[in-house]
Amino acid sequence: MWEMNVKDIRKKLEESFEALTFEELNEKPAPGEWSIAQIVLHLAGAETRFMKLALEAAESQQVMEGEEVDLSVFEDKNKKLKAPIDPPEDPQTREQLLTALHTSRRLTDQFLEGHTEDSLSGKTMDHHQFGIMPVWQVLELLGRHEERHIHQIQETKNKISMK
């Protein structure tokens, strides 16, 4: 299910900032908050980290059962979560942001082309926040993470338009 969802969610993500100007992409709504460009760079970086972990675990010979982890933390959009790495603050063009997203998506495509849920049965990965989780659940993690930040992009657009 999440195999298709991540593709649809990515399309929504790209659409969420397609009509914005360079200034709107890079404007911070308030001190200490991320610009839309930073949110997008965060998503590209997170996808790269998630998928490198997943690909490494998928190729590992080690088989270790792991229970699905609870990813409902992504559902409460009002609860702030701290990212382990802040994205760069350098101004970005829409093209640079799309390039970052397309580059990170290549890892997801590589994962989907080389593996199935059945072939990864018993394979786990260690996520910094959620701990040991089934490798295939990385797709749900990726999708829920991007959905959360699409909401943040909308909130940011609302804040910068009110200035």
Residue 142 lies in a domain: yes
With beta carbons less than 8 A apart as the criterion, state whether 40 and 97 touch.
yes
Domain that holds residue 108: 36-75+95-158
With beta carbons less than 8 A apart as the criterion, state whether 103 and 41 touch.
no
Q: How many domains does the chain have?
A: 1
pLDDT exceeds 80 at position 16:
yes
Residue 146 lies in a domain: yes
pLDDT exceeds 80 at position 122:
yes
Residue 110 lies in a domain: yes
For the whole model, what pTM was predicted? 0.93
Residue 81 lies in a domain: no
Residue 64 lies in a domain: yes
pLDDT tens column, 61-87: 776 777 899 998 888 777 777 788 889
pLDDT tens column, 99-117: 999 999 999 999 999 999 9
CATH of the domain at 128: 1.20.120.450
Residue 116 lies in a domain: yes
Residue 137 lies in a domain: yes
pLDDT exceeds 70 at position 162:
no
Residue 102 lies in a domain: yes
